[in-house]
């Protein structure tokens, strides 16, 4: 790459980010991020950053759903009958007849011991937790939405069944029109439910997204949320948990050739970029990075003239010239429809006193990033972005296989017009 471009880039980046963190929030009442975006040298980038919203409004989420009809589209009478309204919802937690776990107190509809909404809310009074989690389909090109999820740890409910022995795995599924072919199920090792590795959040039986009760479309009244996993583990319209001595996964997604034991991966995507700029103009770029199990150290971009292709034997573009973008700090206003844009007190991962994140970026969440690319020569370019995780590994390594979560390097075309 043109060495002038690199030097120029360093200078511009320094100037651009000189005021990073020094601009008072008071001076930027409308900006969700306290960054150098207010710098008059880059109004285009300031505009693009202003448009970023950290949390996704529930109605703006992408959706992956199955069912004919979709369960939440039934009439209100039918929804009441099938337990897809809060007043009639019930959760069964029972032993697997095919590989029984020994439990002392099954929670079943037949015995009248299933957990109902009131029971769940009673548990919520003392056990509710909330945390940030990005929802991503492992087969999707980019995340479906970023949420603040609230629920009761599944283990709190599991212990109520008085499990004794022969319990190795937990199967679970939701309402499926009483048609076995429509059942969408997932599973976890029981150890993951009973114990959270340090720094990890519990698997929750979830009833709120961004402070509001879950809509039917988002999986309400109650869905599972598995913090570190791709979306298929977070079963919607949850009604049945089966405690089993079976040692294997029975996930519906296993039938689709998916890796059902994949932690979320770290990868970058563009949010905004121009497709054409005039010569002499810098290129304002914004993006997001999903923060997977190995964290996020850097986001980088590369601008490669289309007529100077890289070696075909370098599918991950490791030989390209990569420059750092700026990872934005935690937002001042979280968006997503939260009142005042504020996260509620007690959100996991935040300091209870100063209400700031204990670390940033946070795993299984996202970070936004931005960069103003110095004006390049006229021509057509491939613009790419990638992450470097906290182990120093560049995307799409260390796990490049698509069926454990799609994390290919994104490429877009930008034209720098001569006249
Ligand atoms: N009951 C049920 N739960 C489900 C699904 C489904 O089809 N039925 N799809 C799953 C898949 S594959 C994904 S990626 C996530 C998507 O969650 P969202 O639609 O709330 O964004 O929901 C999961 N939970
Ligand atoms: Mo999915």
What's the CATH code of the domain at 291? 2.60.40.650
User: Which of 65, 83, 181 has the most ligand 1 atoms within 8 A of CB, as the residue to mutate?
Assistant: 65
> Are 171 and 249 part of one and the same domain?
yes
Q: What's the confidence (pLDDT) of residue 236?
A: 98
Choose the final residue of a domain: 230, 256, 282: 256
Nearest CA to ligand 1 atom 21: 63
Residue 266 has pLDDT above 60, yes or no: yes
Cβ contact 157:207 at 8 Å: no
Question: CA-to-CA distance for 82 and 326, rounded, in angstroms?
Answer: 49
Q: What's the confidence (pLDDT) of residue 28?
A: 36
Q: What's the confidence (pLDDT) of residue 21?
A: 35
**Confidence class for position 112, pLDDT limits 50, 70, 90:** very high
Q: What's the confidence (pLDDT) of residue 310?
A: 81
**Confidence class for position 12, pLDDT limits 50, 70, 90:** very low
* Residue 273 neighbours by CB under 8 Å, 6+ apart: 283, 284, 285, 286, 383, 412, 414
Average pLDDT over residues 248-273: 98
Question: CA-to-CA distance for 365 and 298, rounded, in angstroms?
Answer: 15
Average pLDDT over residues 103-118: 98
Nearest CA to ligand 1 atom 4: 235
> Are 218 and 307 part of one and the same domain?
no
User: What are the pocket residues of ligand 1 if the criterion is a CB atom closer than 6 Å to any ligand atom?
Assistant: 61-66, 135, 137, 144-145, 174, 184, 218-219, 231-232, 234-237
Cα Rg, the chain, nearest whole Å: 24
Ligand 1 atom showing the smallest separation from residue 62 Cα: 21
> Are 104 and 208 part of one and the same domain?
yes
**Residues that place a CB less than 5 A from ion ligand 2:** 64, 137, 231-232
Average pLDDT over residues 237-264: 98
> Are 409 and 354 part of one and the same domain?
yes
> Are 109 and 231 part of one and the same domain?
yes
Q: What's the confidence (pLDDT) of residue 34?
A: 54
Residue 9 has pLDDT above 70, yes or no: no
- Per DSSP, the three-state class of 256 is helix
Choose the final residue of a domain: 256, 287, 316: 256
Q: Which of 112, 67, 84 is nearest to 213 (CA)?
A: 84
**Confidence class for position 195, pLDDT limits 50, 70, 90:** very high
What is the layout of strands, in order, in the sheet containing 267-272? 267-272, 283-290, 366-373, 326-327
Residue 23 has pLDDT above 70, yes or no: no
404 in a structural domain: yes
Residue 398 has pLDDT above 90, yes or no: yes
Q: Supply the pTM of this predicted model.
A: 0.92
> Are 285 and 168 part of one and the same domain?
no
Residue 277 has pLDDT above 60, yes or no: yes
> Are 286 and 357 part of one and the same domain?
yes
246 in a structural domain: yes
Kindly report the average pLDDT of the chain as a whole number.
91
Residue 353 has pLDDT above 50, yes or no: yes
What is the distance in A from the centroid of ligand 2 to the CA of 176?
Answer: 17
**Confidence class for position 240, pLDDT limits 50, 70, 90:** very high
Average pLDDT over residues 304-312: 88
Q: What's the confidence (pLDDT) of residue 33?
A: 60
> Are 244 and 276 part of one and the same domain?
no
Average pLDDT over residues 390-418: 98
> Are 269 and 206 part of one and the same domain?
no
What is the distance in A from the centroid of ligand 2 to the CA of 138?
Answer: 6
Count CA atoms within 13 Å of residue 337 on its CB side: 15
> Are 229 and 365 part of one and the same domain?
no
Choose the final residue of a domain: 214, 236, 256: 256
Question: CA-to-CA distance for 122 and 343, rounded, in angstroms?
Answer: 23
What is the distance in A from the centroid of ligand 1 to the CA of 329?
Answer: 30
> Are 368 and 413 part of one and the same domain?
yes
What is the distance in A from the centroid of ligand 2 to the CA of 406?
Answer: 11
> Are 352 and 373 part of one and the same domain?
yes
Q: Which residue has the higher pLDDT, 298 or 11?
A: 298
Q: What's the confidence (pLDDT) of residue 311?
A: 82
Q: What's the confidence (pLDDT) of residue 309?
A: 79
Ligand 1 atom showing the smallest separation from residue 64 Cα: 19
Q: What's the confidence (pLDDT) of residue 41?
A: 56
289 in a structural domain: yes
User: Which of 234, 239, 240, 253 has the most ligand 1 atoms within 8 A of CB, as the residue to mutate?
Assistant: 234
Q: What's the confidence (pLDDT) of residue 2?
A: 39
Nearest CA to ligand 1 atom 18: 63
What is the distance in A from the centroid of ligand 2 to the CA of 121?
Answer: 28
Ligand 1 atom showing the smallest separation from residue 218 Cα: 20
Write out the residue range of the structural domain in which residue 81 sits.
65-256
Average pLDDT over residues 343-369: 96
286 in a structural domain: yes
Nearest ligand to the CA atom of 231:
1
Q: Which of 164, 181, 153, 182 is nearest to 241 (CA)?
A: 153
Structure tokens at 85: 């309204």
Average pLDDT over residues 15-33: 40
Residue 26 has pLDDT above 50, yes or no: no
Residue 111 has pLDDT above 50, yes or no: yes
Q: What's the confidence (pLDDT) of residue 16?
A: 41
What is the distance in A from the centroid of ligand 1 to the CA of 186?
Answer: 11
5 in a structural domain: no
| Number of domains making up the chain | 2
């Amino acid at each position: 790459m043109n060495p002038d471009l690199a030097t120029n880039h360093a200078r511009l980046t320094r100037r651009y980010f000189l005021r990073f963190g020094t601009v008072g929030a008071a001076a930027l009442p409308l900006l969700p991020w306290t960054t150098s975006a207010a710098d008059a040298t880059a109004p285009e980038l300031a505009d693009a950053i202003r448009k970023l919203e950290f949390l996704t409004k529930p109605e703006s989420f992408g959706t992956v759903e199955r069912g004919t009809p979709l369960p939440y589209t039934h009439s209100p009478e039918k929804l009441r009958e099938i337990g897809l309204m809060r007043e009639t919802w019930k959760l069964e937690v029972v032993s697997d007849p095919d590989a029984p776990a020994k439990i002392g107190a099954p929670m079943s509809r037949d015995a009248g011991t299933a957990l109902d909404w009131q029971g769940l809310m009673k548990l919520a009074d003392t056990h509710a937790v909330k945390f940030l989690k990005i929802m991503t389909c492992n087969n999707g090109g980019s995340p479906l939405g970023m949420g603040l999820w609230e629920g009761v740890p599944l283990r709190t409910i599991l212990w109520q069944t008085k499990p004794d022995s022969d319990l190795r795995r937990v199967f679970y599924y939701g309402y499926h029109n009483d048609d076995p072919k429509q059942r969408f199920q997932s599973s976890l090792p029981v150890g993951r439910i009973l114990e959270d590795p340090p720094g990890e959040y519990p698997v929750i039986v979830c009833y709120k997204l961004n402070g509001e009760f879950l809509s039917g479309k988002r999986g309400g009244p109650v869905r599972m949320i598995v913090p570190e996993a791709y979306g298929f583990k977070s079963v919607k319209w949850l009604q049945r948990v089966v405690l089993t001595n079976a040692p294997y996964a029975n996930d519906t997604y296993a039938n689709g050739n998916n890796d059902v034991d994949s932690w979320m991966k770290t990868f970058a995507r563009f949010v905004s970029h121009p497709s054409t700029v005039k010569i002499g103009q810098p290129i304002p770029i914004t993006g997001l990075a999903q923060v997977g199990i190995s964290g996020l150290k850097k986001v980088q971009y590369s601008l490669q003239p289309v007529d100077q292709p890289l070696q075909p034997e370098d599918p991950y573009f490791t030989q390209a010239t990569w420059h750092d973008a700026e990872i934005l700090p935690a937002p001042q206003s979280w968006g997503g429809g939260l009142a005042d844009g504020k996260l509620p007190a007690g959100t996991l991962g935040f300091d209870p006193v100063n209400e700031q994140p204990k670390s940033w970026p946070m795993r299984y969440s996202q970070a936004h990033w931005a960069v103003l690319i110095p004006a390049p020569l006229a021509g057509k370019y491939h613009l790419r972005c990638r992450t470097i995780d906290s182990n120093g590994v560049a995307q799409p390594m260390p796990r490049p296989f698509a069926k454990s979560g799609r994390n290919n390097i994104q490429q877009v075309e930008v034209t720098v017009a001569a006249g």
